[in-house]
Amino acid sequence: MSQKKNEQGSKEYVSDSFVNTIWNQYEDALQRSRKLRENRYEAYVKALEETAKFNSEVRKAVSSFYGETKKANEELINSFQRNQSEEVAIQGIGEKREALRNQWKDVASRWEKIMLTPFKTSFDIVERMEKRVIDNSQSYLQDLKKRSQERSTAADEYIRLARTTQQRYVRRIEDSFKVLVGSGENRQ
């Protein structure tokens, strides 16, 4: 009995190469699919990071544009004030105007701070939201990868079992066919 099993175990089956080829191709396709999924995850996170970086640069550009505009306006006002100072010095009403001008500068700087607060706050909120979105996306993708790995382990086991089962089934059919052909040859 054991000798018969050894003979069957050492037999070469024609169907083995066919079954192995099909399953090898399936496993290769599955591995490519898994690799593509991993690449998509990484590309998604990279796109989020690049978008956040671009948005940060846009915010910096807007801030620097505002700074340059403010600087140009101050230069214009200073040149205008110098011209006014010369006229006022001639007329002799300089002290009252200077006090008024200093009060006006103080009010203008406070008004500017009040007006800039919403912009600075919104920029800060947007930055924090972008960072949170990136962090949440990364942790979500890590969780997806972990669950995918667990499913892959189970799927690999099912594939191994299905391959073995199909191989046994096809071998039985091949053995039955050999018996059928062999019994037909014996009759003649």
Residue pLDDT, tens place only, 15-48: 899 999 999 999 999 999 999 999 999 999 999 9
Report the pLDDT value the prediction gives residue 2, as an integer from 0 to 100. Answer: 46
Taking the complete model, does pTM exceed 0.75, yes or no? no
Using CA atoms, how far apart are residues 163 and 133, in angstroms rounded to an integer?
43
Asked if residue 174 lies in contact with residue 13, where contact means CB atoms within 8 angstroms, the answer is yes
The verdict on residue 30 lying in a domain is: no
Whether 69 shows a pLDDT value over 60: the answer reads: yes
Q: What is the mean pLDDT of residues 103-116?
A: 82
In a domain, 163, yes or no: no
Domain membership of residue 93 (yes or no) is yes
The secondary element (H helix, E strand) that includes residue 112 is: helix 94-187
Is 128 part of any domain? yes
Specify if 73 maps to a domain.
yes
- Classify 36 as helix, strand or coil: helix
Classify 92 as helix, strand or coil. Answer: coil
Q: Which amino acid is at 33?
A: S
Q: Which residues contact 137 (CB under 8 A, 6 or more apart)?
A: 44, 45, 48
Count structural domains, the chain: 1
Calculate mean pLDDT across residues 173-180. Answer: 88
- Name 152's Cβ contacts closer than 8 Å, sequence gap at least 6: 34
Contacts of 55 (CB under 8 A, 6+ apart): 126, 130
Residue 63 covered by a domain = yes
What is the spatial distance between Cα 28 and Cα 34, in angstroms, rounded to a whole number? 10
- What amino acid occupies position 39? N
93 — pLDDT class (breaks 50, 70, 90): low
In a domain, 142, yes or no: yes
Domain residues for the domain of 55 are 47-148
Give the mean pLDDT of 124-150.
93
Which pLDDT score, from 0 to 100, does residue 74 have? 78
Question: Considering the chain, what percentage of its residues have pLDDT values greater than 90?
Answer: 49
Average pLDDT, the chain: 84
| Residue 112 counted as domain residue | yes
Place of tokens 């490519």: 32
